[in-house]
Structure 1
Amino acid sequence: MNNQDKLKLSHNIALIAGIFCAAVALLLLLNFWQITKTDPIESKALEALVQRLKDDRNNEELKEEIRNFDLLARKAYFNSQWQVETGAYMLLFGAIVLAFALRVYYAAKSKIEEPEKVLENEIASRIIAQKGIVIVGSAVMVLALLASYLSVNQLKSYDANALVAENKTSAEEAVEVINVAPAQTATNEVSEEVAVNETTASENVSEVQSEVASSKTVAETPVTETKPAAASSGMTLAELQKNHNSFRGPLAQGVIMHKNIPTEWDGAAGANVVWKAEVPKHGFNSPVIWGDKLFVAGADNTTREVYCYNRNDGKLLWTGVADNISGSPATPPRVTDDTGLSAPTLTTDGNAVFAIFGTGDVIAFDMNGKRLWARNLGVPDNHYGHSSSLITWNGKLLVQYDTNRGGKVMALDNKSGETVWETQRNSKISWASPVLAEVDGKYQLVLTADPIVAGYDVENGEELWSVECMMGEVGPSVGYADGIVVAANEYARMVAIDIRTQEVLWEDDFYLPEASSILAHDGLVFVATSYGVFVCYDLKEGELLWEDDFGSPVYSSPVFADGKVYLMDNDGVMRIYEFSRELKKVGENELGEMSGPTPAFADGRIYIRGENDLYCIGK
């Protein structure tokens, strides 16, 4: 190819690339303008439909219309986001081609032996014109790239208050150690005026600032140890199975060992309702139980509280207030109504109860309501609100803290609240909760997020394995049984992973959960969709065994107890099925009020948190 051919070819390529960049940039700007006119979080039309449903709760056509509207709105929004992100990459590619073509063009042009003589004013005019084109083109490209960035990250602005509040904190992980008077006997409410001497810890636990490496190898997963692992708390699996100490029960797997679980009740009429108690503040967290004590939490924009009830008679024993915590934001972050500031379920080891709120505040009380320690982990950058529940094992409080700023998992000492270990994760934001899995005699923590499902050593935080298979806004926690992890998310897929080999055994993309976690037990897998279809799969083969379409929205998670599977829908109706490879429904029972949290279980009792009240169901 001679010099003249190079000149012509590079000129044509530069022209095409320039037109391509201008067209993509214009489309990006138009797309950005369109997105800014639509709120991706709140829809006035959807709010109007929901309000109509409150006035007519039995209108099945209206329920179906709401589900279809919500599904279309979500798909349209995420499709628009995909278009913007793809357009940004296309614009970047076009700019690179344009720059390369221009370089070749001017290099070829410089080799022409005798350029025509032109007047100085003509040269100056050309230079000015060229500079003008470069400036205008660069401005359009910068605006388009900025628009694509703002569009892809638009949801982050929903939590702007949290970011402002977080910047005001002087130390994100300052631990507050509180020395208190000797424990009192349980009273109706522990007074907040007890003589308390608060002292700040002599050392602030520094937060790991290094970014996550792109490599997926286990050896390159950054782990920071700040303190030797805590001694065992003496809590055994047998003790856990006698209680219900975390979200979905022992090890957070949704498998309950209690017997004589009731199958018939009527909350509105009071049939088989042992007691009913009002919960002072709202929250979507589930009840947890240790011995005769039951714990829930609640919060609003002014106060965050932990409540302890006598599980036998429903009497409120004490209230613990999460206040005066170093680093806690003066103004709580903005959250959606279906998450709130108290979505994560508490956990207990029998010596203390631990709670986390949407502000990033973590607090511990002893079983009589004495405040032990409190700290702020940094306000979570979360556009819906933090919802990942806590779990404890071997003297450590385990926290999944995946936000818009990146993922991490950490272990805090149960007695002091200090960081035992912290591991950065190659993941994005997640609303799922951790699950403990016993593999070859050792326990590991299994987490799911976009894009990975991964296991971590409980003792030191080392990443043991990782499979890239998830996408989107991950809410459901994994199911675990027989060495197999089952993870799923709506608009993504469901996968079954052999935890020892990290092999994907099967996958499916038809029935997928949005918020409800997965139940895996004894060869079966149960999944509840947000639009009211409950399905059963074979654990090892992935074969769909049966489905039940009842049409009510579901956020609660299915639980196995006493040979049956219990599933509560958002309308407060508990559906009970035989644990079987065939569809066998045992019954349906109405609570009498809306409900979203997963129930807790004890021998002969079910504890259900409604929208306003706490119920004990039994004979």
Structure 2
Amino acid sequence: MRLQLFLLGLVGLALLNLRCGQHEPASPQVTAPTPSTEQIETTAPVKTTTPIKTTDPIPFLTPEPQNETIPDDDPAVFVFGSDGPLDTQDGEDAAISIPVGKDGYWSEYRGPGGTGILAGQELPTELGDETNVKWKTAIHDRGWSSPVLNKKQIWLTTATEDGKKMYAVCVDRDTGEIIHDKLVFTNAEPLFCHETNTYASCTPVVTDERAYVHFGRYGTACLDSNTADVLWERRDILYDSFRGPGSSPILWDGKLFFSCDGVDEQFVIALNAETGETVWKKNRDIDYGTDNGDWKKAYCTPVIAQIGGSVQLICPAAVETISYDPQTGKEHWRVRHGGMNAAARPQRVGDKLLILAGDGDQAMIAVQPVPLVDTFPRTPEASITWADGQMVPKRATPLVLNDRIYSASDKGILSCRNAENGEMIWRERVRDVFWGSPVSDGENIFVCGKEGTVLVLSPGDEYDEVNLVTFPEGFWATPAIGDGALYLRSEHHLYCIQ
């Protein structure tokens, strides 16, 4: 009897266990999420079979092409240019084409393609207020815009200190005589301008027939370069730069481009160079991470670059740099780098872009750009290959020459970096500070300081000072080069050094 009860108990216990645990496996199995359901924080979808750690920085995101093939051996070869079509000078072994202007003139901010280089000029290294000065011309009022050249003329802008009158000035390249002194705009109540800025800090862009002058929110105008007659003007492109205007226009393929990154509005605009009509306008659409407009402003001049067979308009802003289609304004790619007050033009370093973020931890970065794929549904993100925040200029654009990056900072530091990895090669403190950008004739580097210092350096892996002189006035503008002459704009004069 006891045996029967014992057996009945075992059977009941087994039935109870089966009823309570019939859906639980003996040993639990964890199924890993598939790549199609894995959540990856990025700005573009990625198709890949390689596991990606979401805690690591996401690498260069290349969209999978659908109707366009990108050559594997040439994913991001690009040249800089202006006033297209793009023209290049290639050495036999050149991996990247060297940019030249359409006519070889220093017709925009920092010259052909914005590189700061015009080779073969053999500029004098002995210079001064009375040394190798072909002519010296007084420029009235106040302006930090840099001189630009066409075949026979030099153009720059100036404005009264209160910003109520804005002028375009044209100077004869050979004699220094003022040909035109045109009052372009008047303003009843200009907005605030910082003491280190002027109301005429945007550099013009010129052709032999036309001069395009830009004063930020106060207006943009196209002048006949022979008569100085105003052919068209725009005074309705409004934004608040807070501390005065700074971004300069560029000209390409019949369009005039400039960035408008204010404390209130942030956008890029393209105008028909013939008529002044808006071709396209693109809002920045950036997550700045703040409502403080002071952290949203920037003063960059865009650059045209040919990347992987496509022409792109590269426009740095606060926090991000964005590439656009210059024909339509369609966004190609963007890279997030942080920072604000960006002012330097992007430069080519090998197969990458050198971008200065202004005020920020990663102030100088090298970016791997993204070739254009028209059919990709979303905007890909370019990758940062190296970054450096030490002794980086906040205003001046570096000079890239012979695989070296030469910088002049607003702290009075001259430096040389390896363009491949950003490593510092040398640095030198000078008793001046630099807001204008260095330029070169391919043989020497010329740097001008705001206390009047002009430095001539020999490029190389050691600091090699060829000459150092002091002028009676300071320099805030970037020099121009043409026909074996160096054109310097000081606070109140324009020099031709030859």
Letter in 2 for 1:492: D
Say which SS state the counterpart of residue 251 (structure 1) adopts: helix
1:113-262 equivalent positions in 2, closer than 5 A:
216=43, 237=87, 239-240=101-102, 242-262=104-124
Say which SS state the counterpart of residue 400 (structure 2) adopts: strand
Report how far residue 579 of structure 1 moved. 2.2
Say which SS state the counterpart of residue 256 (structure 1) adopts: coil
Aligned equivalents of 1:570 and 1:453: distance in 2?
28
Say which SS state the counterpart of residue 583 (structure 1) adopts: coil
Among residues 412, 415, 420, which one is paired with 1:532 in the alignment? 412
Partner of 1:335: 193
Contact persistence 2:438–2:445 (CA under 8 A): yes
Say which SS state the counterpart of residue 399 (structure 1) adopts: strand
Letter in 1 for 2:397: S
Give CA deviations for 1:325-365 in whole Å, capped at 9, x if unaligned. Answer: xxxx5311121122121111000133211011144300110
Answer with 513-522 or 530-539: which moved more: 513-522
1:289 aligns with 2:149: yes
Among residues 135, 145, 156, which one is paired with 1:275 in the alignment? 135
- How many residues align? The count is 385
Say which SS state the counterpart of residue 487 (structure 1) adopts: strand
Report how far residue 423 of structure 1 moved. 1.2
Aligned equivalents of 1:430 and 1:593: distance in 2?
28
Say which SS state the counterpart of residue 261 (structure 2) adopts: coil
Q: 1:466 to 1:610 in 2, by over 3 A?
A: same
1:446 aligns with 2:305: no
Q: Flag the structure with more relative contact order, 1 or 2, with Cα contacts below 8 A and sequence separation at least 6.
A: 2
Partner of 1:610: 490
Among residues 330, 341, 356, which one is paired with 1:462 in the alignment? 330
Aligned equivalents of 1:581 and 1:455: distance in 2?
33
Give CA deviations for 1:455-508 in whole Å, capped at 9, x if unaligned. Answer: 222222222111101213323332223331112224432211112372211111
Letter in 1 for 2:314: V
Q: Which runs of 5+ in 2 are unaligned?
A: 1-41, 46-81, 88-99, 287-295, 372-381
Aligned equivalents of 1:246 and 1:589: distance in 2?
27
Aligned equivalents of 2:258 and 2:105: distance in 1?
21
Contact persistence 1:472–1:492 (CA under 8 A): no
Q: Identical aligned pairs, as a percentage?
A: 25
Aligned equivalents of 2:120 and 2:454: distance in 1?
18
Aligned equivalents of 2:241 and 2:255: distance in 1?
25
Partner of 1:561: 441
Partner of 2:250: 391
Q: 1:468 to 1:441 in 2, by over 3 A?
A: same
Among residues 205, 217, 221, which one is paired with 1:347 in the alignment? 205
1:579 aligns with 2:447: no
Say which SS state the counterpart of residue 197 (structure 2) adopts: coil
Contact persistence 2:403–2:418 (CA under 8 A): yes
Letter in 2 for 1:570: K
Report how far residue 372 of structure 1 moved. 0.5
Aligned equivalents of 1:253 and 1:476: distance in 2?
11
Among residues 176, 181, 184, which one is paired with 1:314 in the alignment? 176
Among residues 481, 489, 492, which one is paired with 2:361 in the alignment? 492
Letter in 2 for 1:400: S
Letter in 2 for 1:380: Y
Letter in 2 for 1:508: D
Q: 1:235 to 1:541 in 2, by over 3 A?
A: closer
Report how far residue 605 of structure 1 moved. 0.4
Report how far residue 582 of structure 1 moved. 2.6
Among residues 215, 218, 224, which one is paired with 1:360 in the alignment? 218
Report how far residue 403 of structure 1 moved. 0.8
Aligned equivalents of 1:403 and 1:458: distance in 2?
21
Partner of 2:468: 588
Among residues 366, 385, 400, which one is paired with 2:259 in the alignment? 400
Q: Which runs of 5+ in 1 are unaligned?
A: 1-214, 219-231
Q: 1:431 to 1:366 in 2, by over 3 A?
A: same
Letter in 2 for 1:402: D
Contact persistence 1:439–1:483 (CA under 8 A): no
Q: 1:452 to 1:603 in 2, by over 3 A?
A: same
Contact persistence 2:114–2:345 (CA under 8 A): no
1:302 aligns with 2:164: yes
Q: 1:434 to 1:492 in 2, by over 3 A?
A: same
Aligned equivalents of 1:398 and 1:241: distance in 2?
19
Say which SS state the counterpart of residue 374 (structure 1) adopts: strand
Letter in 1 for 2:116: G
Partner of 2:32: none
Contact persistence 1:307–1:319 (CA under 8 A): yes
Contact persistence 1:557–1:567 (CA under 8 A): yes
1:32-71 equivalent positions in 2, closer than 5 A:
none
Letter in 2 for 1:426: D
Report how far residue 441 of structure 1 moved. 4.1
Report how far residue 234 of structure 1 moved. 6.9
- The TM-score normalised by the length of structure 1 is 0.59
Q: 1:505 to 1:617 in 2, by over 3 A?
A: same
Partner of 1:187: none
Aligned equivalents of 1:275 and 1:481: distance in 2?
36
Partner of 2:12: none
Greater percentage in helix: 1
Report how far residue 610 of structure 1 moved. 0.6
Aligned equivalents of 1:596 and 1:586: distance in 2?
22
- CA RMSD of superposed structures (Å): 2.1
1:373 aligns with 2:232: yes
Q: 1:346 to 1:572 in 2, by over 3 A?
A: same
Q: 1:445 to 1:521 in 2, by over 3 A?
A: farther
Give CA deviations for 1:8-42 in whole Å, capped at 9, x if unaligned. Answer: xxxxxxxxxxxxxxxxxxxxxxxxxxxxxxxxxxx
Report how far residue 380 of structure 1 moved. 2.6
Aligned equivalents of 1:541 and 1:241: distance in 2?
33
Letter in 1 for 2:496: C
Report how far residue 591 of structure 1 moved. 2.6
